[in-house]
Amino acid sequence: MRRNPGEVNVLVTRKFPERGMELLKDQGFGVSVWPGEEPMTDKEFLKEAKLSTALFCTLSEKVDRSFLEECSHIDIISQFGVGYDNIDVEAAGELGIPVCNTPDVLSDATADVAFALMINVSRKMFWLHKSIARGEWKYFRPGYGLGIELRGKTLGIFGLGRIGTEMAKRCKGAFGMEVIYHNRNRKAEAEKELGARYVSFEELLLHSDILSVHANLTNETEGIFDMNAFRKMKSSAIFINTARGLMHDENDLATALQKGIIWGAGLDVTNPEPMESDNPLLEMENVAVLPHIGSATTETRNRMSELAASAIVSYYRGERIDNIVNPQALDIKKRE
């Protein structure tokens, strides 16, 4: 039997938008919100989780096998975020703990950031903005701060899921870009709708003018954009990563930019996070870096909060949950 809401204590690991908390409280769930601004330490997280029945968490919480084995009493984990590489989903599945995430609701906001980074890098905007503060705007200089145009260029998408598709739509609509992509599976719909062409990883590297990363972080994708990959790219190419920083080797990226192996880079995710304030990438002309704010609009964060909370509500009501990433978990521990 699943517990009644009144018997459930949801550990909420940060001050997430109120919408989700209100939804849980309105349904009679007990909600404990960690009051700190900073993430909990692993020790604090474990201690609090032991006192809880459900988790509402995000990417900074390490939910690995050993944590899960100590907290196998947890009924459900609802992640505020589309990515869930902080959670050992396989171990959770084996223990019968469903893991949910917040897909779809953040695709537009995140694609907007990828698109904005691309334009900002192509016109050196972050660097030029800072040049005013450096006192460099004295008179019109015809050859100063020149960027590159995007019209008619080839967009390469690594990971054509929901966010990658939104990025492709923007690039095609605004700049008439040709779209090529590399993915685990071919996407017939995107091929039809966007005229997107499936290519090998090697071809993606060779032919992209803009290469935008939207894949999940897995053992196969970790570190895939290293010097070996950058060397295959065009020297005029722009590398964009709004997915996970661990997919690129940041030292290799800095070297590739310094040596002109590729032209520019726009990052919303870095490796490691947070990026140190003296990172040489921050001083480069053709680089724009943001502090992992892909989904950071009020509307999107409210929707993420609601969706993460709804999964918990649906679980205890025994209703179908669409955004569950390990559905096999529901078959393992028969609680009903």
Residues from 294 through 333 that contact ligand DGY (CB under 6 A): 294-295
Catalytic residue among 14, 292, 301, 303: 292
With contacts defined by CB under 6 A, name the span among 79-87, 280-288, 309-317, 320-328 that binds ligand DGY.
79-87
Supply the minimum distance, in Å, between the C-beta of residue 178 and ligand DGY. Answer: 28
Q: How far apart are CA 136 and CA 145, in angstroms?
A: 11
Beta-carbon contacts of 134 under 8 Å, excluding residues fewer than 6 positions away, are none
From the list 80-88, 151-159, 230-238, 312-320, the region that binds ligand DGY by CB under 6 A is 80-88
Its sign, for the CA torsion 181, 153, 281, 114, is negative
Residues 306, 296, 93, 71: is their CA dihedral positive or negative?
A: negative
The count of residues in the chain is 336
CB distance 324 to 11 below 8 Å: no
- Name the catalytic one among 7, 44, 273, 283: 273
DSSP 247: G
For ligand DGY, the binding residue among 17, 83, 93, 156 (CB under 6 A) is 83
CB of 330 to ligand DGY, least distance (A): 23
Active site residue 248: no
Residue 31 or 82: the one with the smaller Cβ distance to ligand DGY is 82
Q: How far is the CB of 170 from ligand DGY (least distance, A)?
A: 19
Nearest-approach distance from CB 34 to ligand DGY, in angstroms? 17
Among residue numbers 101 through 120, which ones bind ligand DGY (CB under 6 A)?
A: 106
DSSP state of 323: T
Q: End-to-end CA distance of the chain, in Å?
A: 4
Site for ligand DGY in 231-290 (CB under 6 A): none
Cα distance between residue 134 and residue 121, in whole Å: 19
* Closer to ligand DGY by Cβ: residue 20 or 81: 81
- Which one of residues 5, 81, 93, 96 is an interface residue with ligand DGY (CB under 6 A)? 81
**28: helix, coil or strand?**
coil
Task: Mark residues 34-73: x for contact with ligand DGY by CB under 6 A, - for none.
Answer: -------------------------x--------------
Question: Would you call 73 a catalytic residue per the annotation?
Answer: no
Does an H or E element contain 115, and which?
helix 107-122
Distances (CA, A) of 159 to 79, 121, 152, 154: 21, 21, 21, 16
Active-site residue, selected from the candidate residues 14, 207, 244, 301: 244
Confirm or reject binding of residue 20 to ligand DGY (CB under 6 A): no
Size of the site for ligand DGY (CB under 6 A): 7
- Beta strand 197-198 with 210-213: parallel, antiparallel or unpaired? unpaired
Strands 178-182 and 287-289: unpaired
Q: Which residues pair with 239 in a beta bridge?
A: 211, 265
Q: Is 193 a catalytic residue?
A: no
Decide if residue 163 touches ligand DGY (CB under 6 A): no
The residues assigned a catalytic role are: 244, 273, 292
Residues that bind ligand DGY (CB under 6 A): 59, 81-83, 106, 294-295
